[in-house]
Structure 1
Amino acid sequence: MPSILSTRLILVCCALAAVSIAQAQTAPPGASRAQQVLAERFARADADHDGRLTLAEAKTGMPRVAQHFDRLDTNHLGYLTLDQLQAELQAGLRRRQASRQ
């Protein structure tokens, strides 16, 4: 019969493994730190985990995205995908870089 300490250790290891797997699935390998942070925030904000961020989800989990939701929803589908937000992130970084030159 395993001890309580062994059981707790196993539970902690399982929890850490689950977090590692979840983080690995949110951002592609080689992604920039900004892309990784965006992917993590998107995953937390996407309450139903369908890969689509609705305005309601954005208001709760990503309020700055919610402020610009209509402009970002270029397909007018009522939701945003991580790919759309990452494309906007890259475009914003390019604009900032160009304005410095």
Structure 2
Amino acid sequence: MTMVLAMLRAQPEHADELDAALREVAGHTRGEPGALAYSVARRDGDRFVVVERYADGAARDAHFAAPYVTALLDRFPLLLAEEPVVEFAEVVSAFAR
């Protein structure tokens, strides 16, 4: 299982737009065969944390190649106040209820 952790800081005037876009991507991701979890958290108004889990690297790569993801990534220069921090890792332990 693989995990993605993304930390995003929106331009203040685009924070609600980024919020809506991340929610939309979450909805699409729910239908991806290898997607196990996708969570979006918002804090301090303009900061977002996205935590994703996929069955394997191929599922993760398919997610990042999906048109709704590439369209959002293309909008990042307008929406974000700074470069996103994105980390990829292999999950060594997890649980869900």
Do the two structures share a fold, i.e. TM-score over 0.5? no
Bigger strand fraction: 2
User: Could you state the TM-score of these two structures normalised by the residue count of structure 1?
Assistant: 0.27
Report the structure number with the largest CA radius of gyration: 1
TM-score by length of 2: 0.28
